[in-house]
Amino acid sequence: MKIGLMFNTDPLSGSEIAAVARRAEQIGIDTVWVPELFGREPFVTASRLLAATDTMRIATGIANVYARDAMATRAAAQTLAEFHDDRFTLGLGVSNTVGNTARGHAWLPPLQKLDRFFRAMEEAPFMRKWENRVPVYLAAHGPKLMAFAAERADGALSYMMTPEYTRRARELLGPDKQMNVVLTCLVCEDRGKALKIARRAVRIYTELPNYRRAWSTLGFEPADFEGGGSDELIDTLVAFGSIADVAARVAEHRSAGADQVVVISLNDKGSLDPDWDMLQTLHNT
């Protein structure tokens, strides 16, 4: 199984994010996934990381379909792949109502928005004939979006979900599509400290309706979303403890059908640096 890395590029300088990508490549990480938050533009950032590396794949994780039109999205993806030995992967998603309202966009039902967007990408009237094909993965939480990913994309990307969700997603995707699972990981054997760090990472998502709906289908109750998340919710969503505990959770997702586990690496020192020892161990496992 492949190990990927996702990290927040916004607090880092351009040279710092390039250094992270180079080190990830050196230890054998398959893909670095670049998020789109409220700072760096993901395609420009991906270009910087592709230029800084030689063999590793760089992906948007995810690029928000509300933030740019379909033709511009496909043009950016095709160009990056062409200029960098087909090492670019396009991750797309609808994000959420909160983020898109802040951008000034009217929210549409996700399937309606994605169908229009994918159709426009597929039918874009480019003057240039693109010879390369860029893999496209859809961020999907829920059976309808997962079915859309199975039909229209090369696979899916889940974020902060459980091994049981991965199992259900694999069934919906079928055997021929790639399942990428984003998993927050922390090597810290002080349970109280680990819960505190992990809860900070989860808290923002406990306020979002789309995550609450997805977690509710996995047996969690409204009370689990209060106060930044119950201990049970944090335990289930974040892999923490010893390195063996973290590796065991990664293995659970692998057994459930994940092709790639994309690690968000926390550390117990308050640093923004990934836990390189953990990543190396997971890569070697």
CATH number of the domain where residue 219 is located: 3.20.20.30
Tens of pLDDT, residues 145-190? 999 999 999 999 999 999 999 999 999 999 999 999 999 999 999 9
Check residue 131 and give its pLDDT.
Answer: 84
Percent of the chain residues topping a pLDDT of 90: 88
Cα–Cα distances in angstroms (integers) from residue 24 to residues 27, 266, 283, in the given order: 5, 15, 10
Check residue 127 and give its pLDDT.
Answer: 87
> 3-state class of 62 per DSSP?
coil
Q: Name residues of the chain where pLDDT drops below 70.
A: 98
Check residue 99 and give its pLDDT.
Answer: 72
Tokens of 177: 């599509």
CA neighbor of 277 nearest in space, from 232, 243, 234: 243
Check residue 176 and give its pLDDT.
Answer: 96
Check residue 70 and give its pLDDT.
Answer: 97
Predicted TM-score of the model (pTM): 0.96
Check residue 12 and give its pLDDT.
Answer: 95
Whole-number Å distance between alpha carbons of 11 and 31: 20
**Number of domains within the chain:** 1
CA neighbor of 142 nearest in space, from 120, 121, 112, 173: 173
Tens of pLDDT, residues 8-24? 999 999 999 999 999 99
Domain limits for position 206: 2-284
Element (H, E) at 208: none
